[in-house]
Amino acid sequence: MRYLPAHAQHIGSRSYQQDFFGFADPEEESFLAHAGFLAVLCDGMGGMQHGDVASQTAVRTMLDAYAQKSPEETIPEALERSVRAANEGVIEAAADLGLKEGVGTTLVAAVVHETSLYYFSVGDSGLFHIRGGQFQMVNRPHVFSNLLDQAAAMGKISRAEAELHPERDSLTSFIGIQVLEEVDRNTEPWPMGEGDTILLASDGLFKTLEPVDIVNSLRGHPQSWPTALVERTLAQEHPGQDNVTVISVTCDGGALGDWIPEAAESVLVEKPVIDDVADVPAAGNLNLWLVAAAFLFLVAIGLGGLWYFSTH
């Protein structure tokens, strides 16, 4: 089985790029045999300063940690170890830069191993499985809307209050948090077949495009899909367009043939590089707000006294 990666990225209407991504080496056959092919994407949190530092650190640490996988370690075990290493790496990077309140990023990582998919995600970046032109979201986002919807289902607030809450999209878990508890993962294999594709995307994609727009972009060779999706996103001309990044991995037993996505350069933005981070200011106290929000939700949601830190 060959693993065909592809990617496309654009800064959107933002002043700088906070998305970062990476792939394992598709040519290391002995490693791929027991570890599979890893793809990882991180979206630095806009509600905290220096999300670019967090996303770059998380991706690089994740790739380095996963590269240490032994044949005896299972893929789910290696993914969890590597994600937790990324979390510690982001915390350490913030401390090294004098950012007492830390920095944060989402993370979604996926490993395709023969006919199986394993994943690990924190935050709200998306993982999608595409088969026969149909796509399915695999992971569950960690956003405040989950708690709001639960409260509405229990009759504690109205459905309208849940839908219109200003902090509905705020993250409840992220890489860079001191205690990483809320994660999404699988330990049993998610079935993959020849010709299947997985897409990893920052929320700049699926908060702009409707599902029908995504499906309508899945034309031609799968390695062209990230470019098509980013171009369709930009075509919406959303005035507040976030950074948008789409990466993909396609399982190919040989039927798809060789193909290089030549059009990718039209939307590809150079991945950000850390040049000078010695004089960066401190970020906001997001961790304390998360704890406070969770406490207030449990004891006082009926009184309307919720405060929560907005991340996007």
Q: pLDDT (tens digit, 9 = 90+) per residue, 198-246?
A: 999 999 999 999 999 999 999 999 999 999 999 999 999 999 999 999 9
Please enumerate in sequence order all residues whose Cβ is within 8 A of that of 299, keeping only pairs 6 or more positions apart, or say none.
Answer: none
Dihedral sign for Cα 54, 56, 62, 65, please. negative
CATH topology of domain 2-303: Phosphatase 2c; domain 1 (3.60.40)
Mean pLDDT in residue range 54-62? 97
Structure tokens at 170: 């705020």
How much is the pTM?
0.81
Domain boundary assignment for the chain: 2-303
What pLDDT is attached to residue 277? Answer: 30
What pLDDT is attached to residue 145? Answer: 85
| pLDDT beyond 90 at 192 | yes
As a whole number of Å, the CA-based R_g of the chain is: 19
Please enumerate in sequence order all residues whose Cβ is within 8 A of that of 150, keeping only pairs 6 or more positions apart, or say none.
Answer: none
Q: Which of 185, 202, 192, 177 is nearest to 250 (CA)?
A: 192
Phi and psi at 66, nearest 5°, equal: -70, -30
What pLDDT is attached to residue 152? Answer: 87
Segment among 27-36, 84-93, 96-105 with least mean pLDDT: 96-105
Q: What is the DSSP string of the chain?
A: -EEEEEEEEE-TTSSS--EEEEE--TT-HHHHHHH-EEEEEEEB-TTSTTHHHHHHHHHHHHHHHHTT--TTS-HHHHHHHHHHHHHHHHHHHHHHTT-TT---B-EEEEEEETTEEEEEEESS-EEEEEETTEEEE-S---BTHHHHHHHHHTTSS-HHHHHH-TTTT-BS--BT-SS----EE-SSPEE--TT-EEEEE-HHHHTTS-HHHHHHT--SSGGGHHHHHHHHHHHT--TTPPPEEEEEEEEESSSS-----GGGGGT--PPP-----TTPPPPP-HHHHHHHHHHHHHHHGGGT--------
Neighbours of 217 (CB within 10 A): 21
For residue range 93-140, list pLDDT tens digits in order. Answer: 999 888 877 789 999 999 999 999 999 999 999 999 999 888 899 999
| Cα distances (Å, whole numbers) of residue 141 to 12, 168, 173 | 22, 12, 9
